């Protein structure tokens, strides 16, 4: 049995296609549509409460009886540093002032790490989704044991061989090899260390050659030809995120969609030639790839003061986004996207999955 067949069998899917969790963009409708079409749909619950996670899981189940993935954040819990946070807010003050607003008086940890969230573990153990995946690190041994007892299959993101070997040793069923091309947050375990910055193709081949568990390729994959390519390098499946942003089932904002359409040349006039992606930690406190705007070349320009911990820094970013939005200014919006964004297609999720599968068969 091939790695692709074995992982698809374990996941209970017809196509080796996983829709990336994409916190802030994925929805129960999107996940259900992908799963119904034979892929593995995903929802991200790391940015919400345990109660919100349960509601999201139950909403997916109203729409499909097929397997789906629930993703949580396993970052090191934030360490508050009032002095550093005050310095960061002072640095942002001119940006707020230009919008006729004041920065917040203080910042807070807006997301709870799964590592410190027993209520979230209880929800997952009781709801028993087919798959649970982890980003930014690994769960504790006790959390792994509880999820295994609930019958969940476990996946973890890795950006290097060292992280992937740690995931394998911890008992993960598969590793998501997140290449440097990927949109959204980098899954690096320790973002204070130099980013390995390994591209998807090199990372997939490295992990496929060294691991005993299946490898899922992620980063820059936008069509069936890309899926076929990573399969030839040893990937058992591919995880696509940016490819699904323009699906009507996603919750991408109108501006995010407008930028993606322009980059892909969809609609009259095109106009996306100048768009590009880059990585910055200035938005959330952790490095993430998105479409460049003032957060990247202004707020995140070299010479800025030390960043508050993730996700405390994100609290400041969200306040700045809100202040800009109140003035109709789009220069501070957060539009995560991978390097392949210009290949995006505006299709219903089920149709996109079928198109990907057909391309893959002829790739």
Question: Residue 339 falls within a domain, yes or no?
Answer: no
Segment 103-106 long-range contacts (CB within 8 Å, at least 24 positions apart): 103/316, 103/319, 103/320, 104/315, 104/316, 104/319, 106/82
Residue ranges, the chain, pLDDT below 50: 1
Does 180 lie in the same domain as 72? yes
pLDDT of residue 10: 86
Domain limits for position 219: 1-77+112-245+345-363
Tokens 């990247």, residue located: 296
Contact partners, residue 206, CB within 8 Å, separation at least 6: 161, 198
Are both 3 and 142 inside the same structural domain? yes
Is residue 349 within 8 Å of residue 341, measured between CB atoms? no
pTM, rounded to two decimals: 0.96
Same domain, yes or no: 153 and 292: no
- How confident is the model at residue 167, as a pLDDT? 98
Domains in the chain, number:
2
Q: How far apart are CA 65 and CA 32, in angstroms?
A: 9
- Pair 212, 165 in one domain: yes
Q: What is the pLDDT of residues 69-103, one digit of tens each?
A: 999 999 999 999 999 999 999 999 999 999 999 99
- Co-location of 47 and 158 in the same domain: yes
Distance between CA atoms of residues 156 and 237, nearest Å: 14
Token pair recorded at residue 6: 């074995």
153 inside domain: yes
**What's the pLDDT tens digit per position in 102-144?**
999 999 999 999 999 999 999 999 999 999 999 999 999 999 9
Looking at residue 146, the DSSP 8-state letter turns out to be H
**Residue 61 sits in a domain of what CATH number?**
3.20.20.70
Q: What are phi and psi of 83, to 5 degrees?
A: -65, -45
* Residue among 25, 45, 35, 101 nearest 65 (CA): 35
Compute, in degrees rounded to 10, the torsion defined by CA atoms 10, 11, 13, 15.
-90
Neighbours of 189 (CB within 10 A): 20
Neighbours of 269 (CB within 10 A): 7
pLDDT at position 6 is 78
């Amino acid at each position: 049995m091939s790695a692709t067949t074995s992982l698809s069998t374990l996941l209970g899917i017809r196509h080796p296609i996983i829709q990336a969790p994409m916190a802030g963009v994925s929805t129960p409708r999107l996940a259900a549509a992908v799963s119904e079409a034979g892929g593995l749909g995903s929802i991200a619950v790391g940015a919400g409460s345990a109660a919100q996670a349960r509601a999201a899981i139950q909403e997916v189940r109203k729409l499909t009886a097929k397997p789906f993935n629930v993703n949580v954040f396993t970052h090191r819990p934030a360490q508050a540093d009032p002095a550093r946070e005050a310095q960061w807010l002072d640095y942002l003050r001119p940006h707020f002032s230009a919008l006729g607003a004041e920065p917040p008086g203080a910042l807070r940890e807006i997301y709870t790490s799964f590592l410190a969230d027993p209520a979230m573990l209880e929800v997952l153990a009781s709801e028993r989704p087919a798959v649970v995946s982890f980003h930014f690190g690994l769960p504790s041994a006790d959390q792994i044991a509880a999820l295994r007892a609930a019958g969940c299959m476990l996946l973890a993101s890795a950006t290097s061989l060292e992280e992937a070997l740690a995931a394998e040793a911890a008992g993960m069923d598969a590793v998501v090899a997140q290449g440097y091309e990927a949109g959204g947050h980098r899954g690096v375990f320790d973002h204070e260390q130099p980013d390995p910055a390994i591209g998807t193709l090199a990372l997939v081949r490295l992990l496929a050659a060294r691991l005993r568990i299946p490898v899922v390729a992620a980063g820059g994959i936008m069509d069936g030809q890309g899926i076929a390519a990573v399969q030839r390098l040893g990937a058992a499946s591919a995880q696509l995120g940016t490819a699904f942003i323009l699906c009507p089932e996603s919750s991408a904002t109108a501006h995010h969609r407008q930028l993606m359409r322009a980059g892909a040349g969809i609609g009259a006039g095109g106009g996306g030639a100048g768009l590009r992606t880059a990585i910055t930690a200035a938005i959330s406190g952790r490095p993430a790839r998105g479409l460049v705007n003032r957060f990247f070349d202004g707020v995140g320009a070299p010479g800025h003061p030390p960043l508050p911990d993730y996700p405390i820094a994100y609290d400041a970013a969200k306040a700045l986004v809100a202040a800009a939005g109140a003035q109709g200014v789009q220069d501070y919006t957060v539009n995560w996207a991978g390097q392949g964004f210009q290949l995006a297609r505006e299709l219903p999720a089920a149709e996109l999955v079928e198109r990907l599968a057909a391309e893959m068969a002829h790739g």
